[in-house]
Every structure is written in structure tokens, then in C-alpha cells.
Amino acid sequence: MKKNSENNTNSKKSSSSSSKITNLQTRKSEAKLGGGAERQEAQQKKGKKLARERLSLLFDNGKFTEIDPFVKHNSSDFGLDKTRIDGDSVICGYGNVNGQQVFAFSQDFTVLGGSLSKVASNKICKAFDLAIKTGCPIVGINDSGGARIQEGVDSLSGYGELFKRNTMASGVIPQITVVVGPSAGGAVYSPALTDFIFMVEGVGQMYITGPEVVKAVTGEDVSHDDLGGANAHSTKSGVAHFVSQSETDCFEDVRNLLKILPSNNVDIKSSNETSGDSDQSMLDNFIPDTANQSYDVKEVIETIIDSGSFVEVQNSYAQNIVVGFSKFNGETVGIVANQPDHMAGVLDINASSKAARFVRFCDSFNIPIVSLVDVPGFMPGTSQEYGGIIRHGAKLLYAYVEATVPKITIIMRKAYGGAYIVMGSKELRCDVNVAWPSAEIAVMGPEGAVNIIGRKDISSADDPEKKKQELINDYRDKFATPYVAAEKGYLDDVIEPSHSRKIIINSLNMLKNKVDQNLPKKHGNIPL
């Protein structure tokens, strides 16, 4: 009898446990439906992927561990008590990307338009806190109508908590935002606080006020895409760093960027994978003989780095300067290069700000910086002066001085005036400064200089044009060469262009254990 009683008891326990597991599985299956099958179908008809599908594209093998899958909002106003869905409007979790642990959150537009509730903010903040504690990158996938209006100030508080984490984590862990839907109003400030923003063409949108408000206030009639689409933010505002044609491509691009970035500000991302040295001899005859003739600096970059390793940042914005990540013998390095093929490589407001922010990112995450210089100066004109070229140019100067990572500068051709100083000169605490024989280092170009200092000699000459050319040639021989700067110690060497890669690699090895620091202070006051 006793044995039968025990069997009955075990059977009841087994039945109870099985029932609980079945209930758990049901709850999890229901949670995966988000706002329901109908809304998920509507999302897909718009050509947009679901929140969980996006996380699957990000993580290795589509696998991640979810955080807070059963959290529900506690609001009851305006009928919210009827839409208490497990997990609410965001899915959070962690997993591996290229074998490296990464945290992520993905807003679910099928649940109340992806609007941010207080509990949704709590979920994101929990993921942020764990990412900071464990030193892991975090990826935010934005697809939301913004603050949950029905929750009022609670939703605004949720955004404030998120902005605080964005700010506190800045320079500690890499933060990436993927915009695959609307991101409007105050919601745009979280992406703006992150390090890199990816947008999908025709899908992602970012703006403070929508087209309706713009038209009501200014009378301007613009579409959502024209106002805040991927093209607008990658070419005009500079808000977006990368643009993809599809969500699948976008998440592959995110994975590629994470592969090259360190996990945090004390991690050093390197590998033993190198492509071997490519033929460098083409560089010896690369610079055009005519000073005003353009060339594509990306050809120089691709020649000196590990083959195929260049990841350009903001390639459609401020194209007169090129910035991006590359590898030298497997080590991640930041590249800053003037682009003679666009506006002669001149520094203007947008180029200065673009490069300054990139330099500061590299410094935050201990990524060495290689600068390739061919700059005729700063952009003249009232629009630049009124727009604050002085202030914006000072950002780049500040960023170079503040940076304590290894800094290597190669002057390829022109390096004139203040732009010479700003672009990683020796005076800005750069460690290795070399030049190609084609380098011209001077206060200004020979012709401009002669027009000022030789004005009287030219005007009094029998043949003014011939005299002017003589003075230009004389000025170039005496001042616009790299050897004057090298004789004075402002350059460490004048090198054959084909030796550039070797010089960079040797310098990186020499500087591997570099220790440098700034004066003790709370923080500086960069000219924002």
C-alpha cells in the first residue's frame, strides 16, 4: 500500500511539474508574438523585419539569452490595462557576435508602436548596466513612435534614465545604434549619444519634429525621408555613420564593425591575421607633379594597410576628409586622411567636426591614429566664418592634443598654415612625424606667399610674370620642402613613399607600451 501511495504522489508531482513547464512554454510562445500575429504581418508587409528577427541577424547563429521576457507595464490609463503584454515593447538580451559577447535591445513596433514605457526603459537600462559591468559593447535597435504618451512623465523619466546610461557608458564600451524604423522627438537623442549610427535606406527615419510640424511652423512641405531619412543624415546632417540598402546587409555591417572594435576601453583588439605586404612601389610615383592636380587618398590607404581591412566611417559626409578603421599586421588603427579628390582636401566646418569626433573615439578606446596629410588650409569665406570655422577647427586641434594613444603622421604633399598644425603636427604631441619628398610645409602656398612678400619686386620688374615665377620657384626651394622642417626637428625623417607601411608598423611596435597622460582635471572644455 505504501509503495502505491508513493507512486501516486510522484505521479501527481510529475503531472504538476509538467503542467508548469507547459505553462512556461505557452507564456514564452505568446510573448514572441509581440503585439499579435496581425500586427506582425503588417510590419512584414512594410518590408520591415520583426524585433526578434533583427536580434537573430545580429547574434552568432541567431542565438541570444533574453533578459526580462515577462516584464509588463503597470499602467491602466487610456485603456493600457488591456495591452499588458509580456516583455512590453522591447526585447533585451546578450549573446555572441563573432565570438565576442555583446548586449542588445530591439524595440518592437508591433507593441503599441514600440513606444517607450517606464518598464521598457528599465529593461534597456538593466542591459546597459550589465554591459558596463562586464565591459561589453551594446547595440540598440530603434523602431519606435517615441515616448508612450499615455504614461506621461513616467515615459519621459524612462528616456532620461536611458540618456544617462548613454552618457556614462561613453568612452567605456562601444555603443552602436541601428535605426530601422521611426526614431522621433526626444527618442533621437539616445542614438545621437552613441558612437555609431546605422540606418537602412527607405526604412530608418530620425527627426526632432515630423513633416506635419515643419509645415505648420515653416510652411515647408517635406516628406519623412527627405526630412530625416538615411540619405539626409548620411550626406547632409552627418548624424548617420553608415547606410545599408537592406536590414540583412545592415546587421552584417554591424557585425563587421564589432569585429574590428575593442570590447571596451581597456581591451586591445588585435589578431595574427594579416594579408602580407602588398606592392608598395606604386607610391613612389603616386603624387602628381602638378601641385593642383587631385588624386584619391583611398588608393594610398588601401596600399599601406592590411589588404581589404579598411572600414570607412561617414563615407558620404564631409568627403574632403576620410576617416575609418584599418589593420596593420592585425592591429586595429584609426586613419585620418585629407582627400585631395574632394574640395582639394581643404578643412571646413564639417570635415573638422567629423575628424575630431573620430580622433576622440580612437583615443577613448586606445586605438592608434595614423594621419595622412595633404591639406591646403582651412576653407575661406563668410559662410565658414559665420558658421564657426574657428570653433570647429579648434575641435580637431583639441582632439589631437588630448589624445594619448600612439599618433603617427605622414605628410604626403601640401601642409600649409594652421591646417599643418591641426593635422597631427609634432607640436600636438604626435609621436612620429615623417614626410614624403613631395611634401610642401609652409605658412601658405608658394604663389600666395609670393603675392604678399614679393609684391613690390613683381610690380617693379620688366617682366612681372617671369619675376613672379622666379620668386615662386625660389620660395618653393627654400621653404616649401620637407627638408627645412626635418633640419629643425619638426619631422623625424623624410622617407620614400614606398616605405610608408614599414615605417608605420615599426612605429606601432615601438609605441606599443607608450605611456602618456593629461594634466589632472575633472575634464577639459572642448570648444563645442
Active site residue 185: yes
For the purposes of burial, counting CB atoms within 10 Å of the CB of 24, is it exposed (0-12), middle (13-18) or buried (19 or more)?
Answer: exposed
Active site residue 418: yes
Task: Out of 147, 355, 419, 439, pick the active-site residue.
Answer: 419
> In sequence order, what DSSP letters do the residues of 431-479 get, joined into one string?
SEEEE-TT-EEESS-HHHHHHHHTHHHHHHSSSHHHHHHHHHHHHHHHT
Element counts in the chain: helices (H) and strands (E): 20, 17
Q: Are 158 and 198 in contact (CB under 8 A)?
A: no
Helix (H) or strand (E) holding 191: helix 189-193
Q: How many other CB atoms are found less than 10 A from the CB of residue 349? A: 21
Q: Can you tell me the distance from the alpha carbon of 404 to that of 399, in angstroms, rounded to the nearest whole number?
A: 10
Task: Out of 42, 135, 171, 186, pick the active-site residue.
Answer: 186
Contacts of 44 by beta carbon, 8 Å cutoff, 6+ apart: 50
* Phi, psi for residue 177 in degrees, rounded to 5: -115, 135
Task: Out of 135, 330, 387, 418, pick the active-site residue.
Answer: 418
| Strand residues in 208-266 grouped as ranges (E) | 242-244
Active site residue 131: no
Q: Supply angle C-alpha 264, 267, 271, rounded to 5.
A: 125
Strand-pair category, 440-442 with 432-435 = unpaired
Active site residue 169: no
Bridge partners, residue 442, by sequence: 416
Bridge partners, residue 476, by sequence: none
Torsional sign, CA 28, 128, 163, 314? negative
For the purposes of burial, counting CB atoms within 10 Å of the CB of 467, is it exposed (0-12), middle (13-18) or buried (19 or more)?
Answer: middle
Task: Out of 185, 238, 388, 417, pick the active-site residue.
Answer: 185
Q: Can you tell me the distance from the alpha carbon of 231 to that of 234, in angstroms, rounded to the nearest whole number?
A: 5
Q: Are 415 and 440 in contact (CB under 8 A)?
A: yes
Q: Are 103 and 136 in contact (CB under 8 A)?
A: yes
Active site residues: 185-186, 418-419
